[in-house]
Amino acid sequence: MKYIFPTLICILLFNACKDKVMTEEAKKVSISYPTTRMDSTVSDYFGNSIKDPYRWLEDDLSAETGQWVDDQNKVTFGYLDKIPFRNDIKSRLEKLWNYEKFGAPFKEGDYTYFYKNNGLQNQSVLWRKKGVKDAEIFIDPNTFSKDGTTSMAGINFSKDGSKVAYQISEGGSDWRKVIVMDAITKQILEDTLRDVKFSGLSWKGNDGFYYSSYDKPKGSELSAKTDQHKLYYHKLGSSQKSDKVIFGDKIKRRYVGGTVTEDDRYLFISASVSTSGNELYMVDHQDKSGKVITMVDNFESDSYIADNDGSKLYIVTNLGAPNQKIVTTDASTPGIANWKEFIPETENVLDVSTGCGSFFAHYMKDALSFIRQYDYDGKLIRDIQLPGSGTASMGNAKRGEKEIFFSFSNYVTPGNIYKFEPSTGKTELYIKPKINFAPEQYESKQVFYTSKDGTKLPMMISYKKGVKLDGKNPTILYGYGGFNISLTPAFSITNAVWMEQGGIYAVPNLRGGGEYGKKWHDAGTQLKKQNVFDDFITAAEYLIANKYTSSDFLAISGGSNGGLLVGACMTQRPELFKVALPAVGVLDMLRYHTFTAGAGWAYDYGTSEQSKEMFDYILGYSPLHNVKEAKYPATLVTTADHDDRVVPAHSFKFIAALQKNHKGENPVLIRIEKSAGHGAGKPTTKIIEEAADKIGFTLFNMNKSYTIDIKN
């Protein structure tokens, strides 16, 4: 999903506590839930009266909602405080987390830039190096705020690298500020741009840049609907009020973005009403009129510009090619009718990047990477040798550069950075993280299982070698299943600790994702959304049937659209799971489209107002509306007060319903982070604290005593 990014920090682990045994007696913690007022709000959908007694919790500006948040947090943290090994878990996470982490280098002007985190810094620091001189700090986001909750949320340099514009996010909000700076002297050049949202920054020469935003909504900026996105041009030295609207003032589109080619010749504009399917437009900067030329005039496919060579355009598209292909056309005849195949579609999903005068065709085969290098005539140069099975990601390099960097990792291999020379094919290890973790002691294997309707799906299962498959292993089942997002193998510090202690971590590639192209995505959308939940449930059943775990030791986790996944599965099959951890979830499916940019998610979900058939279908799985009197898994809902993507009201209303209807002894709680958003930019301290709380909650509620060992 373009604007809902899966929140991977909701992955849990059970670990570490010095020689402590958790007994059944220790787990008996009494809970008195806050009383949540119910009102008489009712909405009509096609003649159906649907009660919404917790609608008042949608008002994030009200004192009553604020008091409710404080009351819930008091109960939740009171419970978490009683977990005897909670602080030891936190200490273990901090210890393993504390190693240097580097990003792939990239060049701008005379400097080479790279991100670095010393270990426990709240935000990674952007460094730079010129020639043989020592590296220096360029921008340190840790200086933006005392508590680390203000982050850098994107940076773009002018064409010659002499100027830079970077975005900052305060408290995790999607509303951003843009600061413009002289990249050489590091002096601020002008007033800060404000109220920028869902935007890239793309420079036109060195004089100005394009950005996107919405008009500031009336009422709460964290929850009010934002429905019309516009592309602006900001000329340096002018006020933001005078910025020219390039696209979106006369035509309503929810998501609009602009990208300038490396040679500065063209501006390409993508416009869409949902998170799948886009129109495509272009502006030739040599045409002084600024005329916007239509390339694709419908939303029936996804297309973007990979690069240009003079007037020759290279376009990546899934038009007539569900797994994507590259086509070419001349800028003088840019319409679909003139597109010619350049690199054809294959049975594997294609993504494309460029650098050093080459195309890098990044393919996924069963969610695993392989990369092919092509020249600008479409000739295959070579298959790039990767260090193993996992996820490889090419960095950025301009056309004239001689080397490019790529990263590689999987569930048991920390992220390494490699240097690649496109002219020779030479690959060498550039940065290997110094983390106290031994990949050779772990196993990550891919299995295939069959879903309810007979569909075959892959799942990666990772664990420490020697784990006995006796049905008693604490296991995390993590999923997403939506918005064309692919879950590919990636290393996680929290997963490492989980596996270090004998835990199993499993990730199925559900329908709704992008692992097998557009058809796979579409098979988990709208009136087929139940396929995603069935895929996840049958993954759980596979793990149980094959003795990896059992219901007493199975936790399910997911964030955002994955929070919907967890919410739907725990209400459909509450007996199947011991612990449920829905994070920043879309849980009120009848009203999700009324908040912020939620209406743009209709391609995946449909809406309750779309038709009687769609309303009935959504009502049938909406987690909020399917909370009945039942015994539910131990549940820790997590959200944040500044989440303006999936507003916290989803989680508020869901936990209120759960606390009212839950009939079992398992705790059902909500943890509401202050000064945080949907997940991006969250400081390290908050990430570790939340992970420790989730781990502690999970272990504390699994029906077994543990002797947990902390390693030095």
Strand-strand pairing, 707-708 and 20-21 = antiparallel
Burial zone of 712 (CB within 10 Å; 0-12 exposed, 13-18 middle, 19+ buried)? exposed
> Residue 273: phi, psi to the nearest 5?
-105, -15
Tell me the CB-side half-sphere exposure of residue 599, using CA atoms within 13 A.
18
Please give the Cα distance from 326 to 352 (Å, whole number): 9
Please give the Cα distance from 618 to 322 (Å, whole number): 26
Give every CB contact of residue 553 below 8 A, 6+ residues apart in sequence. 471, 472, 473, 474, 475, 578, 702, 704
Please give the Cα distance from 40 to 45 (Å, whole number): 16
Q: Taking the CA atoms of the chain, what radius of gyration do you get in angstroms? A: 25
Edge to edge, the sheet with strand 340-343 lists 303-309, 312-317, 325-330, 340-343
Please give the Cα distance from 21 to 33 (Å, whole number): 28
Tokens found for residue 130: 């010129």
Strand-strand pairing, 101-102 and 391-394 = unpaired
Give the dihedral sign, CA 51/53/55/56.
Answer: positive
DSSP 356: T
What amino acid is encoded at 472 in this protein?
K
Please give the Cα distance from 541 to 534 (Å, whole number): 10
Residue whose pair of structure tokens reads 């009201």 in the numeric block: 649
Tokens found for residue 113: 């830039």
Tokens found for residue 371: 């990369």
Residue whose pair of structure tokens reads 């097998």 in the numeric block: 516
Catalytic residue numbers read 560, 678
Please give the Cα distance from 284 to 331 (Å, whole number): 9
